[in-house]
Structure 1
Amino acid sequence: MTFGKLITTAAMAVALCAPGIASAETFRLSSETNENSSRTQGAERFAELLDEASGGDMTVKVFPNAVLTGGDQLKQGEMLARGSLDFSVTSAITISTLVPEMSAFSLPYLFSGYDEVDAAVNGPAGEEMARIMEEHDLKLLAWGESGFRELTNSKRPIRTPEDLAGLKIRVAGPMFIDVMSELGANPQQIQWTETFSALQQGVVDGQENPIGAVIIPQRVYEVQKYITNWHYSYDPAFLMMSLAKWEALDPEQQEMIQTAATEAMDWQKELTREQTEEGIQLLKDEGMEVYDPTPEELEAFAEAAKPAFDLWADKVGRDLVELFTQTPES
């Protein structure tokens, strides 16, 4: 299920169709993953929907692989806040250096499944995160999904925390350094755009990422032999916009953008979950050894990671973490 990438070459043009829009405008959207990932495909879907809704008066050019930030995905949020970029489809991990509260999503074993995830992003926790984003000059338009992060490596099957001892694992940020250290691994923080070559050259032994959104489209299976489906951390994707540019739009433009964003990210989340479900067999077909831990083994991982959970729950705020654990009835 793919959609063609919308590429526009005109920088500005006179608008003739949509009422209330004085001139046609081309926006730039940055995605740090490649064209095959569901995140970038969600961005392209947004571009198509917005172009259609505006009669061609608001178009979006999608730039994958964080090319607008020189391959540094961590700069996307900063550039967006300054107004140097218009849109970004990114993840909680990527934005957490700018918005530390986003680290709450990544707490180890915070969620046990999709029902808890959906309740969080569609409830008070998601609303609070959108409010916090605005304090950083970012407009959170819609939630999508990267997914639960699974562990791959080139050395051996991982069934217990002890199996991680000494393995060099690529991680995306400070929380994951603490988590992997507690689990006995040797964490290495590396930009995602540099990770494949680091795995290929043996600079690191493994990495952790969602199956559907990253491991398969980024062809991680070409340089990794083992995967453990331990669901230890969840990473949402989301579409965000420069708050200043959002506030400069008229209500009609805002409505079109919001509607297109919601529809595109709902589609992106569904696609990601389909790709994840189907991806296990693909990884087996590609020669990976897939291991699904027992409930007892998962509990052992969670217990080993608990010191890191407590440390980071205190950093992001226990009140905020409590919002993530509320059920719809509570």
Structure 2
Amino acid sequence: MHFRRTLLGLAMAATALAFTQGAIAQSAYKAEYKMSLVLGPPTPWGMAGKVWADLVRERTQGRINIKLYPGVSLIQGDQTREFSALRQGVIDMAVGSTINWSPQVKELNLFSLPFLMPDYAAVDALTQGEVGKRIFAAVDKAGAVPLAWGENGFRELTNSKKPIKSPDDLKGMKIRVVGSPLFSDTFNALGANPTQMSWADAQPALSSGAVDGQENPMFLFTILKMHTVGQKYVTTWHYVADPLIFVVNKDVWNSWTKADQEIVRKAALEAGQQEIVLARKGLVEADKPLMKEVAGMGVTVTEVSPAEREAFVKATRPVYNKWKNTIGADLVNAAEKAIAARGK
């Protein structure tokens, strides 16, 4: 009898302890979690953050309340510092660009290898397969919890001078690029003059003609009305793509209950799927309505043919080979195999 009472007492104590731990964990939740984004709504990128935050708030009955900070405002607009700030806890969660985080996670440079991915099926073959899992493992090792993929899209070339169909057309052109050494190497190999600057600095530079062109996903062309800053020529060449990654700071992640972690993960996967559809809208349909809209703004659109693309591939191959070892030759080989085997 005494033994049974002891067992009962232990069971009750264990229940009380579990309840107390649950209450402590619950009270350790922050009143608000800060999510960093480079772009806010109405861009697909900004919508990814909004959908994720809304789903999480609703499904956790407000236990996890997320506030969006677009324009990487938590780090004074310096998008290359975003991953470091996330690791340090200045940022709780983010939907971030593989390009912006590549200085801290070298494997993310994979997506910036020139002309690795010819189409959306190639992007999906990487992010949704074994390569994607390996990259998530690298992000996790670097200090953040990766949950889902999104997309910023293929980066196309625009300029104020002429249609660009070959590397020769780019010779001597001043092109604004993002702050990644791989981008500078690529444009140097094409004979252009790459200039690293933030978008805030790029707009007046494009307007005044101090810079001739830039590269970005096409949805930004219409949202930012790039034709009003002299960008009268567009070349669709799919030279690199920029997948987005939904992540949470490790300490924040570990402060949540297992059930809430699962809610946040599932919400990220759903938001990512919705966002990829938004990012590709107008570009995957047979008549590419987004490109028609751009042409309707008085812009000359040049679509690079497979033969013309080959000249760009050849010119940038030394850059590709140089960076292959930095990224990890076995990861690049796995990516090439996955792309070759993709279903088109």
Deviation at 1:248, TM superposition (A): 2.2
**Larger CA deviation: 234-243 vs 163-172:** 234-243
From 188, 195, 206, the counterpart of 2:195: 188
| Aligned partners of 1:150 and 1:227 also within 8 Å | yes
Identity of matched residues, %: 35
Q: CA deviation at 1:194?
A: 2.5
Of 68, 77, 94, the residue aligned with 2:74 is 68
Q: Does residue 264 in structure 1 map to residue 271 in structure 2? A: yes
Contact 1:137 1:244 in 2 (8 A): no
- Residue 88 of structure 1 corresponds to 94
Q: 2:59 maps to which residue?
A: 53
Q: Which has the higher mean CA deviation after the structures are superposed, 193-202 or 101-110?
A: 193-202
- Counterpart among 323, 331, 340 of residue 320 in structure 1: 331
Q: How do 1:79-228 residues align onto structure 2 when only pairs under 5 Å count? A: 79-172=85-178, 173-212=180-219, 214-223=220-229, 224-228=231-235
34-43 or 262-271, which deviates more = 34-43
**Mean Cα deviation higher: 193-202 or 47-56:** 193-202
CA distance in 2 between counterparts of 1:283 and 1:78 reads 36
Question: CA RMSD for the aligned pairs?
Answer: 1.8
Provide the rounded CA distance (Å) in 2 between the counterparts of 1:79 and 1:135: 16
Matched with 1:31 is 37
2:65 alignment partner, SS class: strand
**Following TM superposition, by how much is the alpha carbon of 1:181 offset from its aligned partner in structure 2, in angstroms?**
0.5
Q: Structure 2 unaligned segments of length 5 or more: list them.
A: 1-22
Any conservation in 2 of the 1:228–1:291 contact (CA below 8 Å)?
Answer: yes
Tell me whether 1:279 sits opposite 2:295 in the alignment.
no
**Mean Cα displacement is larger for which, 194-203 or 289-298?**
194-203
Does the 8 A contact of 1:152 with 1:206 survive in 2? Answer: yes
Aligned equivalents of 1:282 and 1:36: distance in 2? 17
Counterpart-to-counterpart distance in 2, 1:292 and 1:92: 25
Q: Output the amino acid matched with 1:314.
A: N
After superposition, the Cα gap between the structure-2 partners of 1:28 and 1:175, relative to the gap in structure 1 and judged at 3 Å, is same
Segment of structure 1 superposing worse, 187-196 or 127-136: 187-196
Partner Cα distance (1:81, 1:218) in 2: 31
Asked whether the 8 Å contact 2:168–2:191 carries over to 1, the reply is: yes
Deviation at 1:52, TM superposition (A): 1.1
Alpha-carbon distance in 1 for matches of 2:202, 2:41: 17
Displacement of 1:75 after TM fit? 1.3
**Secondary structure class of the residue paired with 2:295:** helix
Following superposition, the deviation at residue 221 of structure 1 comes to: 2.8
- Provide the rounded CA distance (Å) in 2 between the counterparts of 1:231 and 1:221: 20
SS of structure 2 residue aligned to 1:254 = helix
Question: Is the 1:31–1:40 Cα contact (8 Å) retained in structure 2?
Answer: yes
Residue ranges of structure 1 left out of the alignment (5+ in a row): 1-17
Q: Is 1:24–1:56's contact at 8 Å kept on the other side of the alignment? A: no
Offset of residue 275 of structure 1: 4.3
User: How many Å separate the matches in 2 of 1:194 and 1:28?
Assistant: 26
1:120 and 1:325 in contact (8 A); partners too: no
Change (3 A) 1:290 1:160: same
Match of 2:3 in 1: none
Give TM-score scaled by structure 2 length: 0.86
Structure 1 consecutive aligned stretches of length 4 or more whose deviation exceeds 6 Å: none
Q: Secondary structure at the match of 2:154?
A: strand
Given that 2:175 and 2:192 are in contact with CA atoms closer than 8 Å, whether structure 1 keeps it comes out as yes
Aligned amino acid, residue 205 of structure 2? A
TM superposition shift of 1:320: 1.1
Asked if 1:299 corresponds to 2:310, the answer is: yes
Letter in 2 for 1:185: A
Amino acid at match of 1:146: N
Evaluate the alpha carbon distance shift between residue 36 and residue 197 of structure 1 in structure 2; reply closer, same or farther with a 3 A threshold: farther
> Deviation at 1:25?
3.2
2-side partners of 1:79 and 1:318: how far apart? 29
State whether residues 145 and 269 of structure 1, in contact with CA within 8 Å, keep that contact through their aligned partners in structure 2: yes
Q: Distance in 2 between matches of 1:90 and 1:139?
A: 12
Please report the TM-score for the alignment, with normalisation by the length of structure 1. Answer: 0.90
**Cα separation, partners in 2 of 1:162 and 1:195, compared to 1, 3 Å:** same
- Secondary structure (helix, strand or coil) at the match of 2:31 reads strand
